[in-house]
Amino acid sequence: MLEFRIPEPVARAMIEHAQAEYPKECCGFLVGPPGEVREQVKLTNVDPDPVMRYEADPKEMKRAYDDLFDRDWEVVAIYHSHTHTPAYPSPTDVKLARDPNAAYVLVSLQDRSLPDLRAFRILEGRIEELGVVSEEKAR
């Protein structure tokens, strides 16, 4: 299984974001130099049914992409939460996964006291799980 490294503070911030938005789904980017997660970018879920689905605010995404362009960074992963189902891509998630470069990170709050965090690659409808490695310090 391929590894997917997330600095521990970023992993914690992502879970905190999911808890803060509960029962709505949260969403955001993990960004950094190609292939390396350095920071979290929180995005607002503007889907009309935010408990069941997510759609990131396009204006916030534009701002994030402009910032990444200036820093020569990229979207290393796209994350969102599931508040009532496991941390595994739903059929909708698979259908909407258009970026073969990015990992898809899921935070499940099915059990709110025990958040689950998993990462995947989704290529042409195929789901491949990545082994999440969370480290105290960014490399």
Regarding 135 and contact with another protein (CB under 8 A), the answer is no
Site mask, another protein, residues 39-78, x = CB under 8 A? Answer: --------------------------xx--x--x-x----
- Residues in the chain, how many? 139
For position 34 contacting another protein by CB under 8 A, the verdict is: yes
Find the shortest distance in angstroms from Cβ 4 to another protein: 18
Q: Nearer Cβ to another protein, position 18 or 56?
A: 56
- Whole-number CA gyration radius for the chain: 14
Contact yes or no for 119/104 (Cβ under 8 A): yes
Answer whether 10's CB lies under 8 Å from 30's CB. yes
Based on the number of CB atoms within 10 Å of its own CB, is 56 exposed (0-12), middle (13-18) or buried (19 or more)?
Answer: buried
- Binding positions for another protein, rule: CB under 8 A: 34, 65-66, 69, 72, 74, 99-101
